[in-house]
Chains A and B, each alone.
Chain A
Amino acid sequence: MKVSRRQFVQLGGAAAASAAAPGWLAGDVVPRPPLAWAARTAAQMPEPDFATLLLNRAAFGPRPGDVERVRQMGVSAWIDEQLDFESIDDSAVEERLLANLPTLSATAAQLLNYGDNQNIAVEELRLATLYRMAFSPRLLHEVMVEFWTDHFSIYHDTDQCRYLKTIDDRDVIRKHALGKFKDLLTASAMSPAMLNFLNNDVSTKERPNENYAREIMELHTLGAAVDGYPYTEEDVKNVARCFTGWGWDQRPTSQLRGEFRFDADRHDEAAKTVLEKFVPGAGEMSDGHMVIQILTEDHKETPKFLARKLVRRFVTDDPDSQTPGLVTQVADAYTRQKGDIREMVRTILYSREFKDSFATYGGRLSRPMDLVARSLRALDVPPERFELRVNSSTNRNMRGALAAMGQTPFYWPTPDGYPDVKEAWAASAVMLTRWNLGLAAVGVGGKFGGELVPGFRAETPASLSTAGEALDYWIDRLLHREMLAEDRAILLDYLTGGGDDSTPLSTPVSGVLVTTVGARLPELAALILDSPYFQWR
């Protein structure tokens, strides 16, 4: 991680000066609350230590060295550093991306002119997304980008979204992922991709389209209405009227093609009532902005809705019944800090509930994109070996694996975003693909990225000569935590075929390709990646 020494000192200073971090962040021994999970998830596993948990949930897993770094600098310093993401130098990653994937920095007009090569922007954005997840040093920022990408989900395969999503990703999601929620929502409301995806670009005063109006309340701010609360069908209609005329420049010859454009002729200027508040009509975009203000500053459901989703992302699949107190605290942080996303996230990561989450509420199942990124990180794939070319075999195979697991980036068809609970991610074929991903990632499955991974025998330090030593090395390197003795025994049996810890790696075995115990190390690593230990985060 490229943080200069000076920044480092400043960061440390800032952290020390901020409100006193609770004792558990520093590792104080605090009695554990009683176990609270209802459905057993990862109950019997030894829990990861705090640094490992943090990297598994507030980043896309550790690369070798990351856990040690967090342990050394302290979790609160790491959290503060990551929240102050702009101080982390990510230029190596970004420069390589921009040099290889030209659509990332294109203007909307340029993107729309890619007509003959329709999928180039789609493919490049997918590739860049995975690359950043795996390699950006702004670890927490990438997690939040993923979070808001789902929250403001846009399906790539919709009309002009295949071009315009690139702009949305850059200027809406990435720009505001750790900013103020009101700025994020405003940017999204003015994002051509969102306007196109949810049909606000065809909404006129004569025929208002309610699609965006409904989703800005149901999915982006307040949550689904039940029996007319928090909003009624009348509110949906009136919000739609407020946003009439919010569209984008579709004139083929316009210099500003693809940019946000307000069309006053389409706008309904009559006064409206929205969520029991009077919205004067005159003033062009003012009523749309007033709706955003009502939703982000006035309505008490927005902080709760956002808090619940954020707690789900970091702590537990079921925040309402498991951690209602934390949800309230995070919602309060929103209100107190005027919608500052950073403070909501800080509240979660500083909380006791987060620290104890694995043991108390169980693991959270790694989603497919997370699994790919975490595998690349755990195996320490060097970024420069990850080819940034959409037609590379690595990219094709990775895309195939993600498609088979059901999480192609930007490819969830409905506007609610990819689900974030375990049940959504475990159909039989999906489990099989997950397991094949592990085999492929270590280079024995033939597909996806095997070429990225250095030889496993060579990666195992030469000083380790027995099966037991090599096994412990790989368990620690890939999991950073203990395994149950029974599970370790299964792995040892796999490696040695009935031997024990002292079996030399050079022991011959009767295979064609695999002729020594040591030659089984790639499969051993895949077994660890494919085990529940790695699948749970």
Chain B
Amino acid sequence: MAISRRDLFERGGLLALGTMAWPSWMPRMAFRRQDVGARGDVLVVVFARGGHDGLNMVIPFGEESTYYSLRRTIGIPAPDSTAPNKAVDLDGFFGMHPSLATSALGNWKQWYDDGMLAIVHAMHMEDGTRSHFDAMDYMERGTPGEKQLNTGWLGRHLSTMATQNNSPFRAVGMGTMLQASLRGPVPAVALQSIADFHLQGRTDEILRFQQHLQQLYGGTGWLDVEGQDTFKALDLLEQQLGSDTYQPQHGARYVDTDGFHRGLKQIAQLIKADVGLEIACIDIGGWDTHANQVDGNNPALGSQANLLNSLARGLDSFMTDLRDYWAEPGVTVVTMSEFGRRAGENGGRGTDHGHGNCMFVLGKGINGGQVYTRPWPTLAPDALNQGDLAGTTEYRDVVGEILMRRVGNEKISEVFPAHSFNFLGLAKPRDVTVPTPAPSNTPEPTAIPTAPAPQHKIYLPWGNKT
């Protein structure tokens, strides 16, 4: 039944309701921009599930003797090689995988050159587990080696921000299950598809159905309140995103068959619709490249290259699409993955679970154009951590700095308890005091119709509104 919700609204009104309108007590605009309070950048956290191979993404080609001997068949050729596909030089020591870098593919070299993309290398998590399960669990809890706290780091971030934002879309996890990092007292929405975020039924009846269902949830009980939140979300999306046709801007090149791209596009829609989004999480899977990570004939092609292209082109599209929103509300993207992979390749043109990795941070408020390593631990045999790239920057230093400087959280020690921070300086401080609401060209909604004190189960016949 391909009828947009707005059509439905209008047709439903005509067909079934005659002149009847929404009842006056129904919250129409419970969320308003000026209620949001102090707000920083919208933070988008990309989790690459499976442990991506940082050594083949940002290649230390300057360490020629070790890198290429550890990775005889899968090493990405240096920028000065004669190979058809090769690393793209960043700073004379590190090069970027061509699937990330080149303009026809991921276009990240441009973001890097423009100073909006920062790379952190030899990034790691303090706990050295090589188990996907534990590593993801620890990283998303934000408490490496500890499972005492049942909240995620973003969940704690949300609960430590003194914001009045009561939008149901304050935190969104793309996908079917909420990311563990979002667990916490502030409700977050697992969202698969904005277009499907509505009640599905026969067009003749669905609007009346929704109105009556909302009355059934009209009380003050716990489930009534949960239900009302959902109606609020439905209502908000109806107002802001009523149309099913979304046009990306500035020539963004999302690939619609790619689930990661579709998710990013929906996050962009939510940001543009100003529904109060603060945090979005999105996953990209498939990085557990134990075998056939690279093509047999060309190490810069193959399964890892395809994944990198999806990752890079997706975020390239996302940032391009949001060009008008870089400054206000501001957007910062950070990527992470549970661990890196073995420094040495295995026998199947692949890599096994390792440790140190790379991480990307993208945004207008980022001191980009650099590879941050302090120091580069090298791939020398005695510098490796059980055969893997060692870590010199803890991931909490990176995300902690972003939370504090870009998102405006002053309590990062509650977000990451027992961690002593050592910032890299990759984020520019942002003044996150409440901006005076800019005059808007859309009329302010009239006073929020507060529901006349929770009237529990009061029967309001539709035709007999007062």
Contacts and interface: CB of A to CB of B under 8 A. Distances in A.
B35 to A, nearest CB: 18
A427 B216 contact: no
A40 B222 contact: yes
B233 interface: yes
B216 A498 contact: no
A454 interface: no
A520 B204 CA distance: 10
A43 B177 contact: no
B201 A439 contact: yes
A531 B226 contact: no
Interface in B441-466: 456-459, 461-463
Contact of A41 (B177, B197, B203, B223): B223
Contact of A511 (B15, B198, B219, B457): B15
B221 interface: yes
14 contacts: A40-B221, A41-B221, A41-B222, A44-B221, A406-B190, A413-B180, A422-B222, A422-B223, A429-B233, A439-B200, A494-B209, A497-B16, A510-B15, A530-B216
Interface in B208-241: 208-209, 212-213, 215-217, 219-224, 226-227, 229-230, 233-234
Interface in B352-389: none
Contacts of A486: 457-459
B411 to A, nearest CB: 23
A254 interface: no
Interface stretch (A276-284, A334-342, A350-358, A442-450): A442-450
A300 B199 CA distance: 50
A39 interface: yes
Interface of B: 1, 15-16, 131, 133-134, 136-137, 168, 176-178, 180, 187-192, 197-205, 208-209, 212-213, 215-217, 219-224, 226-227, 229-230, 233-234, 456-459, 461-463
A143 interface: no
A536 interface: yes
B137 to A, nearest CB: 6
Contacts of B191: 429
A498 B204 contact: no
Nearest to B190: A429
A474 interface: no
Contacts of A40: 220-222
B204 A490 contact: no
A333 interface: no
Contact of B226 (A406, A426, A511, A526): A426
A111 interface: no
Contacts, number: 155
Contacts of A535: 223
Contacts of A155: 133
B192 A404 contact: yes
A413 B458 CA distance: 43
Given A532-B217, A535-B223, A514 B209 contact: no
Interface residues of A, number: 59
Interface in A512-537: 512-514, 520, 523, 526-527, 530-532, 535-536
Given A427-B188, A428-B187, A490-B459, A42 B209 contact: no
Contacts of A391: none
A436 B200 contact: yes
Contacts of A463: none
Max chain A Cβ within 10 angstroms of own Cβ: one of B190, B191, B461: B190
Contact of A513 (B134, B199, B204, B234): B204
Contacts of A512: 15, 203-204
B168 A428 contact: yes
A429 B456 CA distance: 24
A70 B134 CA distance: 47
Nearest to B200: A445
